[in-house]
């Protein structure tokens, strides 16, 4: 876990707390999440300010929102394989909480705070920035930031007079308060089929569209 995070904890209890959901009792990760949210926003604001020196405040704000939104943080959690390492209460375990975007995203923010409290600002930033490298690289050009993945995919296809994507619900699982949706995105030209999973059908469609855009970019 520490190798994946890029930080070796001097106080391992902070790591344990960051991975403990409130359903598993105290000390849980909600206070860490509060601090981590502020740190993540600052790290991303600074990184974007440096990467895009001529971009205005509005585009920077939209890009930061793209990087720190729940689904983006949940993808980082999956890259770090956090789901299997979370400590959840029996109810959340039964309902598949380790797969839920909101719980995964909260854990990422809590981990950022845990690293900060275990070290210092510079050490934390150096450990955390690599987690966001893929998301930073995948950002659209500044003038396109703010458009969601479905819109960007549709515009790309329409601009080349290609058929629009077809989104199909594959599965819907979990309790009423904790549903998980899996959706496919099918393109005819180019022939691409991707899938996305989220806490709503719309979120799953967005993730499937993002995956399709990534496949398109990879073949260009």
Q: Are residues 210 and 124 in the same domain?
A: no
- Which of 139, 159, 184 corresponds to the end of one domain? 139
Edge-to-edge strand ranges of the sheet holding 192-198 = 166-173, 180-187, 192-198
Q: Answer yes or no: is pLDDT of 147 > 80.
A: no
Residue-wise pLDDT for 153-180, tens only, equals 998 899 899 999 999 999 998 776 677 8
The answer on whether 176 is annotated among ligand-binding residues is no
Is 196 inside any structural domain? Answer: yes
- Specify whether 101 is catalytic: no
| Positive or negative: CA dihedral 87, 88, 89, 90 | negative
Query: For residue 50, what are the CA distances in angstroms to 55, 139, 186, 213?
Result: 10, 15, 37, 26
Give the Cα separation of 198 and 130 in Å (integer): 24
Mean per-residue pLDDT, 77-84: 92
Mean per-residue pLDDT, 123-150: 85
The answer on whether 106 is annotated among ligand-binding residues is yes
Q: Are residues 76 and 121 in the same domain?
A: yes
- Which of 117, 139, 161 corresponds to the end of one domain? 139
Q: Is the pTM of this model over 0.85?
A: no
Q: Are residues 134 and 153 in the same domain?
A: no
Q: Extract the tokens encoding 107.
A: 């854990």
Predicted confidence at residue 220, as pLDDT, reads 66
Q: Are residues 15 and 101 in the same domain?
A: yes
Predicted confidence at residue 159, as pLDDT, reads 87
Q: Which residue has the higher pLDDT, 202 or 219?
A: 202
Mean per-residue pLDDT, 47-53: 94
Q: Are residues 128 and 186 in the same domain?
A: no
Give the Cα separation of 184 and 42 in Å (integer): 34
Q: Are residues 170 and 132 in the same domain?
A: no
Q: Are residues 198 and 157 in the same domain?
A: yes
Supply the range of the domain harboring residue 200.
149-219
- Which of 111, 139, 167 corresponds to the end of one domain? 139
Is 89 inside any structural domain? Answer: yes
On average, the pLDDT of the chain sits at: 91
Q: Are residues 211 and 161 in the same domain?
A: yes
**Residues 6 or more apart whose Cβ sits within 8 Å of residue 3:** none
Q: Are residues 111 and 206 in the same domain?
A: no
Q: Are residues 135 and 153 in the same domain?
A: no
- Active-site position among 101, 109, 205, 210: 109
CATH classification of the domain holding 134: 1.10.1520.10
Q: Are residues 104 and 154 in the same domain?
A: no
Predicted confidence at residue 144, as pLDDT, reads 66
Q: Are residues 92 and 194 in the same domain?
A: no
- Active-site position among 37, 92, 118, 205: 37
- Specify whether 109 is catalytic: yes
Q: Extract the tokens encoding 50.
A: 């440096």
Domain count, the chain: 2
The answer on whether 81 is annotated among ligand-binding residues is no
Q: Which residue has the higher pLDDT, 36 or 156?
A: 36
pLDDT above 70 covers a percentage of the chain that reads 96
């Amino acid at each position: 876990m520490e190798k994946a995070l890029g930080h070796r904890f001097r106080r391992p209890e902070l790591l344990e707390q960051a991975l403990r959901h409130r359903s598993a009792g105290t000390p849980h990760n909600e206070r860490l999440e509060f601090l981590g949210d502020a740190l993540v926003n600052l790290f991303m604001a600074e990184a974007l300010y440096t990467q895009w020196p001529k971009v205005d405040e509005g585009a920077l704000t939209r890009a930061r929102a793209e990087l720190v939104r729940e689904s983006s943080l949940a993808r980082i959690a999956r890259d770090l394989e956090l789901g299997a390492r979370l400590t959840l209460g029996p109810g959340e375990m039964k309902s598949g909480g380790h797969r839920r975007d909101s719980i995964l995203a909260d854990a990422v923010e809590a981990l950022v705070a845990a690293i900060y409290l275990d070290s210092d600002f510079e050490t934390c930033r150096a450990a955390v920035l690599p987690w966001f490298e893929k998301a930073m690289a995948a950002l659209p050009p500044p003038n396109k930031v703010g458009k969601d993945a479905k819109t960007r995919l549709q515009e790309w296809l329409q601009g080349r007079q290609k058929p629009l994507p077809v989104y199909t619900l594959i599965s819907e699982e979990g309790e009423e308060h904790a549903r998980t949706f899996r959706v496919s995105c099918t393109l005819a030209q180019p022939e691409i089929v991707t899938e996305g999973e989220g806490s709503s059908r719309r979120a799953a469609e967005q993730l499937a569209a993002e995956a399709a855009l990534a496949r398109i970019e990879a073949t260009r």
